[in-house]
């Protein structure tokens, strides 16, 4: 049995933040996994990770079966294919995460 911490991380962690996403109503990530016969009846996707480094892109799904056991499945797909499974996708990043969760005030610069 493998073990890992479900948290985004990079080698240096220069920028940190958060992410929020809405699934598409049809052809979402779970639907794609069902089409590929990765997701079986009674199973649900509990989490998704993706990682990019240069030309390397990796997607993994964390799938829970009816017994509550979790498994990790690597999913071959492009970044474009992944983003098509979401209706909306929002990411925030700030230096060291210093703005995360903060109400920020900024000057509106008129051009």
Q: Map out the domains of the chain as residue ranges.
A: 22-95
Please name the CATH architecture into which domain 22-95 falls: Roll (3.10)
Mean pLDDT over the full length of the chain: 94
Q: Rounded to whole angstroms, what are the CA distances from 53 to 7, 11, 46, 99?
A: 17, 11, 24, 25
Contact 75, 61 (CB under 8 A): yes
pLDDT tens by residue, 18-55: 999 999 999 999 999 999 999 999 999 999 999 999 99
The whole model's pTM is what? Answer: 0.86
């Amino acid at each position: 049995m493998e073990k890992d911490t479900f948290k985004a991380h990079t080698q240096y962690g220069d920028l940190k933040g958060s992410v929020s996403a809405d699934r598409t109503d049809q052809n979402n990530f779970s639907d794609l996994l069902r089409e590929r016969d990765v997701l079986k009846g009674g199973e649900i996707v509990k989490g998704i990770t993706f990682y990019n480094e240069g030309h390397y892109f990796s997607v993994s799904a964390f799938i829970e079966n009816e017994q509550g056991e979790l498994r990790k499945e690597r999913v071959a797909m492009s970044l474009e294919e992944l983003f098509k499974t979401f209706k909306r996708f929002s990411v925030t990043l700030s230096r060291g995460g210093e703005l995360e969760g903060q109400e920020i005030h900024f000057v509106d610069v008129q051009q």
